Amino acid sequence: MLIDAPSLYFRAYFGVPESAAKAEDGTPVNAVRGFLDMLASLIRTRRPDRMVCAMDHDWRPDWRVALLPSYKAHRLAPEGGEVVPDTLTPQVPMILDVLAAIGITVVGAAGYEADDVLGTLSVTQEAPVEVVSGDRDLFQLIDDDRGVRLLYVGRGVAKLEDCDDAAVRSRYGVPANRYADFAALRGDPSDGLPGVAGVGEKTAARLIDRHGDLDGILAALDDPGSGFAPGLRAKLDAARDYLAVAPKVVRVALDVPLPELPTALPTAPVAPDRLMELAQRWNLAGSCRRLVDALAAQG
């Protein structure tokens, strides 16, 4: 099980009220508590024997921005860095401390997003693999032949959607391995991808169904007899420069240099005293106990 940690702790932060989860000194711990409860639920219901949590060591890599300057530009803080709620930032180290005490591996890579780490692990780790994220871009990692699925938590872990290639086809009308081209055509405001003006999901899916992929669409665009409606041809023509770079931005890297990682999910905390200390300090006893119980049930 590969965990998109930022995706989950952002959802935890906004899903658990600060007023309901504070340490004794008043420090908010809603993201920590929600994240740990999500992990406990995933372990209890999916019963993985391996787990890695991926982190963003670079949420907006220079190489993606060089290709498409608008990439995540709307999320850039005036002083630089990502716009993150003030009370969430201090909670990330707390999450990492608890994961270390439990013994769950956490990894990131300089110059890459968590998505890229997840993508690389999805093709290098022994299958079956379940990727857990609320990021639609990770639909592209689904590979029925290898046994890679996406547990999509866009509506929360309690309503996770277990997605294979058929699920992506049903949802968007394209196979999972064409999702990146589909997203480039359609656009994604949450990532600063403008898409092709006037091309929505249905048109993007129809183009991919007819021409196979973006390269096929662009090749057909150069063929006067390819049957494009004049208006659509004009829209795609006007977007050639964007379409030359957008798929490279959307595609998840599958070759991130990562160290050898211990992936076995422990059945008990590796540092129980440290975990108890953290649980008491941050008022996380209930969440830590639920996580420990879920791990023990795997043994």
pLDDT tens digits, 173-197: 999 999 999 999 999 998 999 999 9
Amino acid code (one letter) for 72: K
pLDDT tens, 6-33?
999 999 999 999 999 999 999 999 999 9
User: Could you give the CA distance from residue 284 to residue 70 in angstroms, rounded to a whole number?
Assistant: 39
- By the 10 Å C-beta count (0-12 exposed, 13-18 middle, 19+ buried), 61 is classed as buried
Reduced to 3 states (helix: H, G, I; strand: E, B; else coil), residue 184 is: helix
Residue in 98, 129, 136 with CA at minimum distance from that of residue 115: 136
| pLDDT tens-digit map of 33-75 | 999 999 999 999 999 999 999 999 999 999 999 999 999 999 9
Q: Which residue, among 234, 137, 132, 237, has the nearest Cα to 181 in the 3D structure?
A: 137
Domain 176-250 in CATH: superfamily?
A: 5' to 3' exonuclease, C-terminal subdomain (1.10.150.20)
**Domain residue spans in the chain?**
2-168+253-294, 176-250
What phi-psi label fits residue 81: left (phi over 0), alpha (psi between -120 and 50 degrees) or beta? left
pTM of the model: 0.95
Indicate the CATH number of 2-168+253-294 among 3.40.50.720, 3.20.20.70, 3.40.50.1010, 3.40.1170.60. Answer: 3.40.50.1010
Confidence tier at 141 by pLDDT (50, 70, 90):
very high
User: With contact defined as beta carbons under 8 Å apart, do 276 and 289 qualify?
Assistant: no
